[in-house]
Chain A
């Protein structure tokens, strides 16, 4: 038997599954809470639980796949190591004039003379003395270097030279191991020097973080007796060896939704579907076409950064089973985007919470704080004020209700603000009523303490003069309608070009329903929210919906009904993302382009690492077909593929001129080499 271990660290839970690779069957599955301060703790717990009571010896595992939110979270939160960005041939005046500095990720930017033009001709020689000086001055201050050259994707010579310089000058100061360097041309083939710099700098900044995670996961696996190679899920759903991912951590952004969609495809075996993954923190929506997740050609947006990483085109909303249910100003329930610990889970760990909830019933003062708790996270932090430390000490003893704190402490509202800032630093966790609690209170989901959920529902429902059951039903129905709305929004944004073009910066193209009252009125009728209307609207989605995550049975049937489509909930839907972490293949692409040089007599071949001129297009094509496949095969093995299958596609670009003006004009040839292979054991980086 060949067994694969899949691991997914999500916003709330870390899942682990054991999959029999021969039969495709899921042998066991387990969940643990994600431990943000050190992801490997939650990973260790989930993996250990997956082996518990199953007759699979750890030594039988021959592949470990990990999908991790580390890169995405670190980017969103602005975490990362100090890096220096070396830019060759960039114009600092232009960068300043357009305020592009804020897109460069780091403050430590060095502008060097150099760079190329669009044809790949050197504009100015690289200023090596200045580069040496800059590298030497920083080798003890930074943990990685990022390198990008103007038109470096048309000729990477300066980027490659800078990489060699960094490696040469940092190797001795760093104990024989040079500092990591990321070059722009390794991550993308696309133009836009600023966005390449963004992508490159983000990547360099993540390298030490991912390296540390991989090392701790490796230790955890070793301790469990698992020696199999460790692979990481990329944002396009494919797998790469951990050692490779450490060099290109930016490519693991959106690895969570990517693993979900691959897992959904693997478990359900359907090729054209809409995948909805209802997690604890977020819900991700991705279209699967012809068995592959649809990718975002414009590059994935993470936080405020638009990267050049091709990742799944996921639409993510801040709504999940553990979203906080609060009452908005008009006394309606509002769900998310804040994620909290569900009351039922909190009471499962701290049963005294139930007594405090009971005490709050009927209390009018601070009623807006009812059913909310805070607890300290077990981690150390520096630079805390005395009052922060005092507050953390109080919370260290166990969860405290917000209402209790406000009653006991003199400056209740000040404490609330202080808590917010401690929460933002992840030193304090909040607990409250969530959709998961609504399901517990209604008896539709039973895992934790339902009593806490019932009293929580009563506390909130009484403020709206509703019966607790009615309130809970409303929360569950709201989750469904929000998911349906998000799916419709995503679909429309793909199909209807937004004004200014979907590619305009910052334009996600998702419809803003509040600014489209007529459309919103149709949608509300289609969702059944306006029973008194004379107009009955129906939506019909042409593809089925695959739902994964937990517990989707509670939310998704209504979504499928609202969209008049088939709902597929595959077996093991609650751990599909972990299944997706081992179901993918290694997929690598290299491109070679041929462009006419002036006068049409010479043609330039742009290879991934060099530039060569030829007298005829076919000579260049033949050369590329000769050298690139071997290069790509070697890379694919390094990336962890066993048997590699190679495909080449050729696209010739010619365009007609007006009839009487002669022959069509040749604009260029694009050769795309794709290597695909299942993860294999033989590779070494």
Chain B
């Protein structure tokens, strides 16, 4: 039984999206529950991807391909997973800040976090402070993730932290930031709760908040 889960994980690792989809269906036909397939197959595979990405064994394109395979598997599982069935690691809204159109890093974080069992709400790119506040109100996440790839736009993160503060919602969320020009010192200075230098560590930081 666990054989097939291992096959799902290893196919996911190598990015074989069609194979993953087929194996997920097969596992369900064998009588495994959707939750078992998710945690034992897809999330286990994504964890391996995260580890090797962090260690420099895998690079961004491979992670993106693995994430696509994850999506293929999720496409089958999602309708079957009743609410509460999945032990969600937490809810997170994520977006690239106003004036910044870079989305590869943000998407990578989103997919890695999805892979780790987080429920992700992607606000896209060029997201204004008001839109972050509105999204916090609508989705009531535990985590707000922000991305910026320009030294000129990273200061906007401060504006967003302040907007949440002024709205009285700052204490209802944990804020994590990331992006190539950022540093941990910058994250502290603007009042964020966490900083992740790359997508794999973003998952660790988020798990730290959720746990």
Q: Which residues of A contact B (CB under 8 A)?
A: 91, 94, 97-98, 100, 117-119, 150-151, 191-195, 503-505, 596, 599-600, 653, 655-658, 661-662, 665, 667
**CB within 8 Å: A-B pair count:** 68
Interface stretch of the complex, out of B5-13, B19-27, B61-69, B162-170: B162-170
Known contacts A118-B166, A194-B168: A658-B159 contact under CB 8 Å: no
Give every chain A residue within 8 A of B154 (Cβ-Cβ): 657, 665
- Report if B180 contacts A (CB, 8 A): yes
- Is B97 positioned at the interface, with any CB of A under 8 Å from its CB? no
The smallest beta-carbon distance between B166 and chain A, in angstroms, is: 5
Instruction: List chain B positions with a Cβ less than 8 A from chain A.
Output: 129, 137, 151-152, 154-155, 158-159, 162-163, 165-172, 180-183, 185-186, 189-190
Residue numbers in B under 8 Å from A657 (CB-CB): 151, 154, 181-183, 186
Closest to B165 in A: A191
The answer for the CA separation of A117 and B163 in the assembled complex, in Å, is 8
Report B144 CB to chain A, min CB distance, Å: 16
What are 17 A-B contacts with C-beta separation under 8 Å? A94-B137, A118-B159, A118-B162, A191-B166, A192-B165, A503-B171, A655-B186, A655-B189, A656-B183, A656-B185, A658-B181, A658-B182, A661-B151, A662-B181, A665-B151, A665-B186, A667-B189
Q: A118-B129, A658-B183 are known contacts. Are A150 and B166 too (CB-CB below 8 A)? A: yes
B155, B165, B190: residue with the most chain A Cβ atoms closer than 10 Å? B155
Contact of B171 among A91, A118, A504, A596 (CB under 8 A): A504
Question: Across the interface, which residues of A come within 8 angstroms of B185, CB to CB?
Answer: 655-656
What would 6 more interface pairs be, CB under 8 Å, given A118-B159, A150-B166?
A98-B169, A98-B172, A118-B163, A655-B186, A661-B151, A665-B151
Q: How far is the CA of A599 from the CA of B156 in the complex (A)?
A: 11
In-complex Cβ contact of A661 among B162, B166, B180 (8 A): B180
Distance in angstroms between the alpha carbons of A98 and B171 in the assembled complex: 12
A97: chain B residues within 8 A (beta carbon): 137
Query: Inside 8 A of A661's CB, which chain B residues have their CB?
Result: 151, 180-181
Chain B residues positioned under 8 Å from A505 (CB to CB): 171
Quick one: given A118-B129, A662-B151, A667-B189, are A192 and B170 in contact (CB under 8 Å)? Answer: yes
- Looking at B151, B182, B185, B190, which has the most chain A CB atoms within 10 Å of its CB? B151
For the complex, would chain A's binding face be called helix, strand, loop or mixed by DSSP majority?
Answer: loop
Bound form: Cα–Cα A574–B94 in Å = 59
Q: Output the least CB separation between B190 and chain A (Å).
A: 8
Chain B: CB-nearest residue to A653 = B189
> Complex: how many Å from CA A505 to CA B169?
11
Flag if A665 contacts B155 (CB, 8 Å).
yes
* Closest chain B CB from A544 CB (angstroms): 35
Closest to B163 in A: A118
Cβ of A655: which chain B residues have Cβ within 8 Å of it? 183, 185-186, 189
Q: What is the distance, in angstroms, from A617's C-beta to the closest C-beta of chain B?
A: 15
Bound: A97/B189 CA distance, A: 30
Q: Are B168 and A193 in contact (CB under 8 A)?
A: yes
In the bound assembly, the distance between CA atoms of A103 and B183 in angstroms comes to: 37
Chain B nearest CB from A530 CB (Å) reads 36
Output the least CB separation between B129 and chain A (Å).
7
CB neighbours of A91 from chain B (8 A): 167
CB distance from B97 to the nearest CB of A (A): 12
Give, as a whole number of angstroms, the nearest-CB distance from A632 to chain B.
26
Whether A596 contacts B155 by the Cβ 8 Å rule is: yes
Say whether, besides A658-B181, A661-B181, A665-B151, A151 and B189 are in contact (CB < 8 Å): no
CB distance from A159 to the nearest CB of B (A): 14
Could you tell me the distance between the alpha carbons of A192 and B186 in the complex, rounded to whole angstroms? Answer: 22
A662 surroundings in chain B (CB, below 8 A): 151, 181
Q: Which residues of A contact B180 (CB under 8 A)?
A: 658, 661
The 5 closest A-B pairs by CB, nearest first: A194-B168, A661-B181, A191-B165, A657-B181, A118-B162
